[in-house]
Amino acid sequence: MTNQRRLADNVSRYGMEHAGVPRKGSALLQGIAICGCCGRRMTLHYSGSHSDYPVYCCRIDRDQRASALCQEVRALPVDSLVERIVLDALAPDQIAIALAAMAQLEGESRQLERQWMLRRERARYEAERARRQYDAVEPENRLVARSLERAWEDKLRAVEAIDQDYARWRSEEPLVIGTADRAELQALGENLPWIWHAASTSAADRKRILRFIVREVVLDQKRMRGQVWMKIVWQTGATSEHRLQRHVRSYRDYVDVDRLRRRIKDLNAAGKMDKEIATILNREGFVAARGCAFKNENVWLLRTRWGIPTVKINGAGANPMRWPDGSFSVQGAAVALGITPQTVFDYLARGLLAGRQLTKGQPWQIDLSGDQIKLRRAHVRHTKRSRKVAS
């Protein structure tokens, strides 16, 4: 399928299916994940009761499942962070820069390739010359023949060694992008977020796109408690470091529980209610227990545990008669109107008094003008009198 057709196809299908559902083969960093502890290439395994959780795994012997474990990193959260970073990085102008840098890398790579070719030719030439010398020797001159034979074997071994070195170098060389791929990549850049998320884009396609841009990703979850440290080595040769908050089972495992406590305390002191605090914490990248987003219940629970009192506009003290803005508290209104606080609540509920709360649970602030007080008092007196008359 041509890129244009596939793009149209993807765009039309986009949204019809949910993308990002974990499934086998979707581990984005398969083959390019490097262990940050020991530098080995990490392999992919599946864990969980249904073997459906991909894990990047570093074992001392990469083929032996039974061998000692260096570290393992859960793939899905790492993948989604890499995905976000890459999609951000792939703005069209960034692609142009990346391609230019890649062209330079390719140039260097071609130069090295040529040097390797010369070395391999030279080794072959020398082996061939040794063979001819050996062939040319008279059969009766055994001593000379034997030493020429040994020389020939040495040259053959040298050819073999240099071929192996070359193969190793070749496999470690960064991916070289062909011209066709390059044009495709440029076109992709414009529409990458759509194509990336499209239902018709396979996991293999995503991996392929990723490899255009990222050479390898170094993972280390031992470096910092509660976090996965990550270094992306871009194809351009540039590197960038990132951190991922690991999902925590309880707040005891939380990497910066002190920072979290301080933040909640400060926000609470600033008059924020639990729900607002939760929103702010989520925005600031805090993660609640078990990797969830914060809700007001989480904040409430933490405040209770840490003894941070519910915020009130007057702090922890009793409500004053009047608030600084001139509005009355329930107690103040009760005194001013000569009624019980309970009646004030009743009037508020019936809309006979105008009051407001910053939010549910906050003290009432009741607006009472001098006229209203006179009017209400008269009404109260009237009601009391009529009750007396009636009784």
- Contact residues toward Zn ion (CB under 5 A) are 35, 37-38, 40, 58, 70
Q: Are 221 and 255 in contact (CB under 8 A)?
A: no
Closest by CA position to 366, among listed 303, 322, 319: 322
CB of 314 to Zn ion, least distance (A): 57
DSSP state of 222: E
Question: Radius of gyration of the chain from Cα atoms?
Answer: 37
Residues 6+ apart with CB under 8 A from 286: 245, 260, 263, 294
Q: How far is CA 305 from CA 265, 266, 299, in A?
A: 12, 16, 10
Residue whose CB is less far from Zn ion, 37 or 301? 37
Cβ of residue 246: shortest distance to Zn ion, in angstroms? Answer: 17
Least distance from Zn ion to the Cβ atom of residue 45, Å: 14
Nearer to Zn ion, 40 or 322 (CB): 40
Whether residue 244 contacts residue 228, with contact meaning beta carbons closer than 8 Å, is answered with yes
Strand order in the sheet with 43-47: 43-47, 53-59, 69-74
Nearer to Zn ion, 35 or 244 (CB): 35
* CB nearer to Zn ion: pick between 13 and 40: 40
Q: What are phi and psi of 265, to 5 degrees?
A: -60, -45
**Residue 41 or 374 having the CB closest to Zn ion:** 41
C-beta of 62: minimal distance to Zn ion in Å?
10
The residues, any chain, with a CB within 8 Å of residue 201's CB and separated by 6 or more, are: 10, 19, 195
Burial (Cβ within 10 Å: 0-12, 13-18, ≥19) of residue 326: exposed
* Tokens, residue 182: 């390059």
Sheet with 214-224, strands from edge to edge, namely 33-35, 214-224, 227-234, 239-245
Q: Minimum Å distance from CB 41 to Zn ion?
A: 9
In the complex, the smallest distance separating the C-beta of residue 285 from Zn ion, rounded to whole angstroms, is 27
Quote the CA–CA distance of 352 and 365 in Å, as a whole number: 14
Give the nearer residue to Zn ion in terms of CB position, either 42 or 82.
42
Cβ proximity to Zn ion, 27 vs 58, nearer residue: 58
- Shortest Å, Cβ 220 to Zn ion: 9
Q: Looking at beta carbons only, is 35 or 82 nearer to Zn ion?
A: 35
Distance of closest approach, residue 233 Cβ to Zn ion, in angstroms:
17
